[in-house]
A and B are shown apart, each in its own frame.
Chain A
Amino acid sequence: AQKVTQAQTEISVVEKEDATLDCVYETRDTTYYLFWYKQPPSGELVFLIRRNSFDEQNEISGRYSWNFQKSTSSFNFTITASQVVDSAVYFCALSDPYGGATNKLIFGTGTLLAVQP
């Protein structure tokens, strides 16, 4: 079965500090995709990043970076120099493109990031 675990319920940082959000996933498949979404108070889920299981290269996109390690089934996400506008709930999600071909997302329970001014 597929499962995503976000052990951090809430983390708090002061503006300009870095914030790292943890994600651990379970899947029996060898091909899968991992995502991070942001949900601000308005409720809309905003796509941030996607990674496929064949590409473990870690990248930086602006203030966002991620650390994908298949050996530990982790897909951690870091916001550098956090800003108050980054305050939101962040969800890690897993998708199996061959699992019925629906590409449905399996979400974690989310981590609330509070950035204090």
Chain B
Amino acid sequence: DTGVSQNPRHKITKRGQNVTFRCDPISEHNRLYWYRQTLGQGPEFLTYFQNEAQLEKSRLLSDRFSAERPKGSFSTLEIQRTEQGDSAMYLCASSVGGLGNTEAFFGQGTRLTVV
């Protein structure tokens, strides 16, 4: 399977715990995005990497959130001290760079439930 891969698919955690999600993009894609999707809403942009550089972060990304892409390949998204409001689907997408704005390919997401 050469698509975008996300792990885990589901995560249930207690409020206050830390969680980490992983995204493996399509191998030749240098752009990587994280989005968050709550029930009944469209995905909302969280952050963007070009290779290993994190070039943009949304105001939705509070101090409890951190994302990395250490070698320009896979990426991790960590949420510290989780809150019930963090419950959502976290989607990762990748694309090829360039102003031609080629389409982004999405993974199946990680569904987080904070209890």
Contact = CB atoms under 8 A, between A and B. Distances in A.
B73 interface: no
B55 A102 contact: yes
B48 interface: yes
B111 interface: yes
A52 B100 CA distance: 9
Interface in A67-107: 91, 93, 95, 97-98, 100-107
The prevalent SS among residues of B at the interface is strand
B65 interface: no
Contacts of B55: 100-102
Interface residues of A, number: 28
A104 B95 CA distance: 11
Task: Report which residue of A4, A46, A52, A110 has the largest number of chain B beta carbons within 10 angstroms of its beta carbon.
Answer: A110
Contact of B108 (A43, A50, A104): A43
Contact of A47 (B43, B56, B104): B104
A46 B104 CA distance: 9
A107 B56 contact: no
B42 to A, nearest CB: 3
A109 interface: yes
B44 A107 contact: yes
A96 B63 CA distance: 27
The 4 closest A-B pairs by CB, nearest first: A107-B42, A45-B106, A44-B108, A104-B45
Interface of A: 4, 33, 35, 37, 42-47, 50, 52, 91, 93, 95, 97-98, 100-110
Interface of B: 31, 33, 35, 40-45, 48, 55-56, 89, 91, 93, 95, 99-101, 103-109, 111
17 contacts: A4-B42, A43-B89, A45-B93, A50-B103, A97-B101, A98-B99, A100-B55, A101-B55, A101-B99, A102-B48, A102-B56, A103-B104, A104-B56, A105-B43, A106-B45, A107-B42, A109-B42
